[in-house]
Amino acid sequence: MVYDRNDEANIKAGFLYLVMTHIGTACIIVAFLLIYNFSHSFEFETMRLSISAIPSFVKNIIFILVLIGFGTKAGIIPFHIWLPSAHPAAPSHVSALMSGVMIKTGIYMMIRIFFDMFGSIPLWWGIAVLGIGSVSALLGVLYALTEHDIKRLLAYHSIENIGIILLGLGSSLIFYSLGNTTLALLGLGAALYHTLNHATFKSLLFLSAGSVINQTHTRNMEEYGGLLKYMPRTAFFFLIGSMAISALPPFNGFFSEWLTFQALMQGMSSPDVLIKSMFVLAIGALSLTGGLALACFVKAFGATFLARPRSLELAHAKDSAFPLSLAMGSLALCCLLFGIFSGYLGSIFITLGESLHLFSDVSPIINSSPDHTLTAPNGFGSVSAPVFFIFFVLVIFLVMIITKFGIYRNQKIKNGSTWDCGTDLTPRMEISATGFARSIIRIFSGVLRPSIQREIEYRDSESRYLSKKMTVNLKMNDIYQTYLYEPLKKILVSISIRTKMIQSGNLNMYVLYILIAVTTALFLLK
Amino acid sequence: MITFAWILQLIFVPMLSPLCIGIIRKIKAILQNRQGAPIVQPYTDIWKLLHKDEVVSSDASWIFRYAPFVVFGVTILVGASIPLFASFLQNTLTSDLLLIVYSLALGTFFLALAGMDTGSAFGGFASSREMTVSALAEGGFILALLTISLIAGTTNLFAISNAEILHTGKLFLPVVLAFTGFCIVLLAETGRFPFDNPATHLELTMIHEAMILEYSGKRLALMEWAAANKFLIFAALGANLFFPYGIGEHPTIEAITVGIVALMLKTLGFCLGIGIIESSMAKFRFFRLPDLLITSVILSAVAIGLIQIL
Amino acid sequence: MDAKKIAQYISSQKKAKNFDTATVFQVLASEIKEITSDLRDNKHLQLKLITATDEREENGCFKLWYIFAAPTEHVFIVPYIELKNTEEFPSLMSSIEEAGNYERKIQTFFGLTPIGHFDNRPLILHENWPSDLYPLRKDFNWNTKPEESQGTYPFQKVDGEGIYEIPVGPIHAGIIEPGHFRFSVVGEEIMLLEARLGFVHKGVEKIFETVSPHEMIKLSEKISGDSSYSHSLAFSNALEQLSDTVVPKRADHLRVIYAELERLANHFGDIGAIMLDTGFSFGGSHGARLREIIIRMEERLTGSRFLRGVNICGGVTKDISSEEKNNLITDFAIITKDFSELIEIAQDSASLLNRLKGTGVLPYTIAQKQGATGVAAKAVGIAHDARVDFPYAAYGALHFDTVETEQSGDVYARFCVRIKEVYASINLITKALTALPSGPICANTKPIFKKNAIAITLVEGWRGDILYFVTTDSKGKISRVAPRDPSWVNWPLLEQSAPGNIVPDFPLINKSFNLSYTGNDL
């Protein structure tokens, strides 16, 4: 991560990453130590066997510690702050890996511990995970909308997708504690499927974004524009990635979100008011997230690749080299294939869950003869990706053929300039990435806290006629920074100042400290 | 008979959607003491546009050139995948609720990209507005349809319109609540009052019209036609999911005829409602629209809550 | 004219020359700044126009006229400066903000440089016009066709990341006049609006130098189509002053009736159009319907839908018969009822009021500083109305003395001012019809103009006050006509009331001002 040592922002990002992962690691270590206290072994097998001996109070603590620890690694809100600053600092291929694999380790370990180690799940665990998932998904995409740094934008989308994965996991935990293993498997399968999908499309997006950054030497989307003409292949792959991450059929993102939706929908029919409302909220969050993600990727793709270039340097941009194109192409193909074969993949992931400890005593319930349709249990719904795909391609093809050859064959198509109302268009007259998302930001101003600062310099101190210079600064107040991390930092600093008293510099005092520490340790060991 | 029904199903939406637009315009004209254009005017407009030469901006890319086919194609696909006049047709492959919602989003995605592609300020802000409205409408849309699918116990749209419980009129209150929420979404997604003014000439206030500002000839025809299709799709969803009375349940000519007449009558109801709204109230200020969309989410959420209690 | 009252405005050392409604006196270029700020800030006079005349042939100088209005005394105080052997004059910008645009216009058309002005961009004339060719100088022949020149016009720019510009016009989607608006926006929020006009410049002031007085009246009717009558009335008044023509009483009353009809027609149109721009098409179509009723009434009475060819020097050409008079009175009873029903429905529509209230607020201080006039001024509570302040025609005789005002300065306030003025106009018309004296409708004398004279007239058109400044030369020929449409004064106000609003609300704000492009571009 601290790849480029000379950049101060990089070092800061690296440090933040270090601190946050350390906090996460500390939580994880404490969690494992607590388990060790009962299992006396770090073997997963042994830990699993002795887990039932742990009192539920301690189990809850372990759950919280694991959630915070691996949540930090996965980038859940509010422990996400390292992620958006880490991605832009890292080179793009590292980002692709980080997003595709590294943050997934957090998810992997959560599944490993919750589903493979514990034998019983209290209801509130699932509800907590579902809540965190909703918040992460929604806030992740909202923060992504505020960004015009393309890598930070993608980083925030990782948070959003981790949220969606957690929605699947959370619903699975809830269903399990309610005793409905079929649905628990559905939720888990959705989460696993989405994990795979996220790895493919996010890597694709990071690689193509990296290619753009490489050619333009900036991460600022406000300076892009019109790149589709210079980098057609990259643009095409980015478009596929955008459609996949926005859950547009027939790409893979849609089908894992479909499974997640199905799991959440089944939860809505629960008789318990609390659980039901949790699921309604989760569905609301997920559908809003879907809509906002769509808006965000219209912004990202539009501002980067469409319209006219906003700076002259873009004219030198060249398309990605062949090996990179090949890599992106195969990822794009994966996005499509993982979608089209969703029927098979979905059932694979659902049956995959059955091998976990939690489902060990459950006989296979889900129809394990996979075909091209993705089906939810109880006949709640089904969707066939290949049929949709063929239908879709066929319809568009037919429409094109008919309009081209069926009606008025000798139509002439003339090239003209964009409608300019009789003036000359400049690059300043294209909508900016910030401008595109501004309305949504204003609508969600309660969460995002945008501020706007106008500075006007007049020609004359008396006269308000014609400003000499007018500057508008847009800012976003990070609520975690102000309400969580800043107070935390203050407390830490004040504690540090208090504890400084101990550090008197007197050797005798230090000897005394050692003595006290040793006696306490001896006493405790006894 | 089934094959016949499927063919009818496939061409139904594109064939009749311009008529709906013509009817709305006529109703508005009558309500505003004008004579108005003939009801078939949208057909002649589309026909005229299909026979015109085109001007394409030199700044535009292939997105602009191909978007109309995708946008139009999506409406054909969705139009064929939802229950229109016959619920006896079984489609477990493409008529899932979420697939429909996200396919429509696919159309919106390309529409918005096409709006941005020519680099015109109008297209840019129109895309921004469209995405803002449709992002917020999505929650209400999904929740309203989910209410129904929860009642019917399935997310397959044909199965929903076939569901016994909806025909008996039980759970009337949640259905009406969700339907109200759905109507708000309908107005938002089809670019109607109080969200958008399809008849305005003020480019600064436009949403849909400014996005397709750069189109001409065949592509404009497709875009206009797609917008009309989208309206009929939403009207059919509202008519057949919430109140599936009259829909053809058996593969007979009579049932299909009754189904078509019922659908057209219900669609006429939508047209009348829209005509009245567009003549009698002012368009909302842009930043008041979210309140309306949140209302639609809340209505559906309440409806979901009521399902069990009742 | 009461000499004593005027004396308070003019320092005793100055030699003042009195005309019908104006008192002019020469000051030195070095004093002008001080004197004008004293008149405006301490004596609370309103600056109505700054313009120039090219008198190099006769007097060897350019003259700059600073026309101030003293409403309580019904008189214009006009200091002027002479520019001999110099093409520079001191700018008043730093003390009187509203002077800025007048000075820019003088610079563009006369080639006189305002020293100390911040903004030397040409006004009205565009880049295709050679920058060293000054059309209002007498040595410029009106039918000269200069080579097309190239240039750029720097717009104001807002710095900051994510700011982009929306250019609108001069060619619009609807059938409206051409004007270019440049918005600098953050998403939907307007940060800065700059309007650029001049697309319908047709050289009116130059043409006035070339045509006969009879044709001049016709020309004045063409300045702004919707204010045809008020413009020709103001110009006819000026000609009558210059020739000492006495207008018959009946003509004065008829002039009131016609002028108020014009106001009614336009206010009905605007009230409808404001509602239509919010999408409230019910109100929109009824506004248009009411306007059409009045316009047809105008056609019935005068043969012209826009009351053209009605005013001549000395009176009017069209009379109202007694039969028609009774018809009109009953018609207006119906129209009043019709209109109040429409307004009742509008006032009950929550969605309409929500769009109107709080939109496009014009701050009082800015309105005051920029010398706002007409509906825009009345909507912030500035109670100026030429009909009350400088009564012309029969307004004095009819005891018209109330100015309809509102306080909030938003679109709703401008909407309400129009509504109130509609009722007032209908009242006035009925009053004038009942009080219509008998007699001729036109003076029977051939006008002969005084030599070396000036005339200043002010008429309250439906947008605001229309001013005509007319001078004659030593042969008694009209040498300069400088019309000033209210739009000229109010355009900068529109720019000021847009920031802070959102882009889709701008058409509504624009409509609530409804300024004339052609009246501004002349």
Q: Residue A464 pLDDT > 70, yes or no? A: no
Percentage of chain B beyond pLDDT 90 is 58
Using alpha carbons, list the distances in angstroms from residue B271 to B27, B83, B175, B229.
Answer: 8, 19, 21, 14
CA dihedral over A418, A421, A426, A428, signed as positive or negative? negative
A192: distance to nearest CA of chain B, Å? 20
Of the pLDDT bands very low, low, confident and very high (cuts 50, 70, 90), residue A7 is low
Beta carbons within 8 Å of A61's beta carbon, 6+ residues apart: A31, A34
Per-residue pLDDT at A508:
80
Give the span between the Cα atoms of B21 and B227, in whole angstroms. 9
Summarize the confidence of residues C430-451 as an average pLDDT: 88
Type of residue at B130:
E
Per-residue pLDDT at B261:
93
Residue C3 vs residue C117, higher pLDDT: C117
Per-residue pLDDT at A6:
57
Q: What are the tens digits of pLDDT across the range C414-424?
A: 999 999 999 99
Q: Residue A2 pLDDT > 60, yes or no? A: no
Which residues constitute the domain of residue B280?
Answer: 2-309
Q: Are B76 and A395 in contact (CB under 8 A)?
A: yes
Task: Work out the number of other CB atoms within 10 angstroms of the CB of residue A155.
Answer: 30
Residue C66, φ and ψ in degrees, nearest 5 = -115, 100
- 3-class SS letters over chain B: CHHHHHHHHHHHHHHHHHHHHHHHHHHHHHHCCCCCCCCCHHHHHHHHHHCCCEEEECCCCHHHHHHHHHHHHHHHHHHHHCCCCECCCCCCCCCEHHHHHHHHHHHHHHHHHHHHHCCCHHHHHHHHHHHHHHHHHHHHHHHHHHHHHHHHCCCEHHHHHHCHHHHCCCCHHHHHHHHHHHHHHHHHHCCCCCCCCCCCCCHHHCCHHHHCCCCCHHHHHHHHHHHHHHHHHHHHHHHHHHCCCCCECCCCHHHHHHHHHHHHHHHHHHHHHHHHHHHHCCCCCHHHHHHHHHHHHHHHHHHHHHHHHC
Residue C157: inside a domain: no
- Do residue C275 and residue B286 have CB atoms under 8 angstroms apart? no
Closest listed residue to residue B102, CA positions, set B66, B141, B63, B67: B141
Which residues constitute the domain of residue C26?
Answer: 3-115
Percentage of chain A beyond pLDDT 90 is 31
Q: What are the tens digits of pLDDT across the range A290-319?
A: 999 999 999 999 999 998 888 888 888 888
B201: distance to nearest CA of chain A, Å? 14
Beta carbons within 8 Å of A68's beta carbon, 6+ residues apart: A24, A27, A79
Residue C515: inside a domain: yes
Q: Residue A430 pLDDT > 80, yes or no? A: yes
Q: Which of B57, B73, B218 sits opposite A395 (nearest CB)?
A: B73
Domain boundary, last residue among C115, C139, C162: C115
Residue C170: inside a domain: no
Of the pLDDT bands very low, low, confident and very high (cuts 50, 70, 90), residue A368 is low
Q: Which of residues 344-403 of A touch B (CB under 8 A)?
A: 373, 376, 378-384, 387-388, 391-392, 395-396, 399-400, 403
Q: What are the tens digits of pLDDT across the range B61-114?
A: 999 999 999 999 999 999 999 999 888 887 888 889 999 999 999 999 999 999
Q: What are the tens digits of pLDDT across the range A179-209?
A: 888 888 889 989 999 999 999 999 999 999 9
Give the residue carrying structure tokens 């859950």: A247
Q: Are C346 and C416 in contact (CB under 8 A)?
A: no
**Chain B contact for A299, CB < 8 A?**
yes
Tell me which chain A residues have a C-beta less than 8 angstroms from the C-beta of C100: 465-466
Q: What is the DSSP letter of A413?
A: E
Q: Is A190 helix (H, G, I), strand (E, B) or coil?
A: helix
What residues of chain A have any CB closer than 8 angstroms to a CB in chain C? 148, 222, 420-423, 425-426, 428-439, 441-442, 452, 454, 459-460, 462-474
- The count of structural domains within chain B is 1
Give the span between the Cα atoms of A33 and A45, in whole angstroms. 15
Q: Are C179 and C517 in contact (CB under 8 A)?
A: yes
- The count of structural domains within chain C is 2
Q: What are the tens digits of pLDDT across the range C127-176?
A: 888 888 899 988 888 888 888 888 888 888 888 888 999 998 788 877 78
Q: Which of C167, C275, C289 sits opposite B121 (nearest CB)?
A: C167
Element (H, E) at C273: helix C249-277
Any bridge partners for residue B56, and if so which?
A415
Size of interface B-C (CB pairs under 8 A): 87
Least confidently predicted of A82-91, A172-181, A242-251: A82-91
Q: Is C289 helix (H, G, I), strand (E, B) or coil?
A: helix
Which residues does chain B have with pLDDT short of 50?
none
**Chain A contact for B109, CB < 8 A?**
yes
Half-sphere exposure of C340 (CA within 13 A, CB side): 8
Tell me which chain A residues have a C-beta less than 8 angstroms from the C-beta of C168: 421
Q: What are the tens digits of pLDDT across the range C188-233?
A: 899 989 999 889 998 899 999 888 888 899 999 999 888 999 999 9
Element (H, E) at C410: none
Give the span between the Cα atoms of B249 and B256, in whole angstroms. 8
Residue C274, φ and ψ in degrees, nearest 5 = -60, -45
Residue C14: inside a domain: yes
Of the pLDDT bands very low, low, confident and very high (cuts 50, 70, 90), residue A5 is low
Give the span between the Cα atoms of C31 and C29, in whole angstroms. 5
Give the strands of the sheet with C465-472, arranged side by side: C454-460, C465-472, C478-484
Residue A393, φ and ψ in degrees, nearest 5 = -65, -40
Domain boundary, last residue among C115, C143, C168: C115
Using alpha carbons, list the distances in angstroms from residue A13 to A181, A213, A358, A454.
Answer: 42, 19, 39, 30
Q: What is the largest CA-CA distance in chain A?
A: 100
Q: What is the DSSP letter of A319?
A: P
Same domain, C222 and C357: yes
Which of the other chains make 3 or more beta carbon contacts under 8 angstroms with chain A?
Answer: B, C
Closest listed residue to residue C288, CA positions, set C267, C313, C303: C267
- Do residue B204 and residue C507 have CB atoms under 8 angstroms apart? yes
In a mutational test of the A interface, the residue from B72, B94, B95 whose CB has the highest number of chain A CBs within 10 Å is B94
Per-residue pLDDT at A363:
58
Burial (0-12, 13-18, 19+ Cβ within 10 Å), A244: buried
A341: distance to nearest CA of chain B, Å? 14
Give the residue carrying structure tokens 């989208």: B230
Closest listed residue to residue C87, CA positions, set C122, C52, C121, C118: C52
C486: distance to nearest CA of chain B, Å? 25
Give the span between the Cα atoms of B45 and B50, in whole angstroms. 9
Domain boundaries, chain A: 8-391, 480-525
Closest listed residue to residue C27, CA positions, set C9, C4, C54: C9
Residue A222, φ and ψ in degrees, nearest 5 = -65, -15
Q: What is the DSSP letter of A408?
A: -
Per-residue pLDDT at B246:
86
Summarize the confidence of residues A250-270 as an average pLDDT: 89
Same domain, C108 and C241: no
Domain boundary, last residue among C84, C115, C146: C115
Residue C156: inside a domain: no
Q: Residue A369 pLDDT > 70, yes or no? A: no
Q: Residue A365 pLDDT > 60, yes or no? A: no
Closest listed residue to residue C49, CA positions, set C108, C7, C96, C112: C96
Return the structure tokens found at A32. Answer: 């494992």
Per-residue pLDDT at B225:
95
Give the span between the Cα atoms of B275 and B25, in whole angstroms. 7
Residue C189: inside a domain: no
Beta carbons within 8 Å of A143's beta carbon, 6+ residues apart: A84, A156, A159, A448
Residues of C166-175 as b/e, b for ≥16 C-beta within 10 angstroms?
A: bbbbbebbee
- Do residue B109 and residue A246 have CB atoms under 8 angstroms apart? yes
Q: What are the tens digits of pLDDT across the range C394-407?
A: 898 888 888 999 99
- Do residue B304 and residue A276 have CB atoms under 8 angstroms apart? yes
CA dihedral over A159, A161, A164, A169, signed as positive or negative? negative
Tell me which chain C residues have a C-beta less than 8 angstroms from the C-beta of B208: none
Q: Residue A1 pLDDT > 60, yes or no? A: no
Element (H, E) at A388: helix A385-401
Q: Is A510 helix (H, G, I), strand (E, B) or coil?
A: helix
Residues of A450-483 as b/e, b for ≥16 C-beta within 10 angstroms?
A: beeeeeeeebeeebebbbeebebebeeebebeee
Residue C344: inside a domain: yes
Least confidently predicted of A144-153, A464-473, B217-226: A464-473
Q: Which of B61, B135, B143 sits opposite A284 (nearest CB)?
A: B143
- Do residue B135 and residue A294 have CB atoms under 8 angstroms apart? yes
Closest listed residue to residue C516, CA positions, set C317, C373, C391: C373
Q: Are B253 and B85 in contact (CB under 8 A)?
A: no
Tell me which chain C residues have a C-beta less than 8 angstroms from the C-beta of A470: 156-159, 191-192
Residue C273: inside a domain: yes
Beta carbons within 8 Å of B305's beta carbon, 6+ residues apart: A273, A276, A277, A280
Using alpha carbons, list the distances in angstroms from residue A326 to A233, A320, B53.
Answer: 10, 9, 39
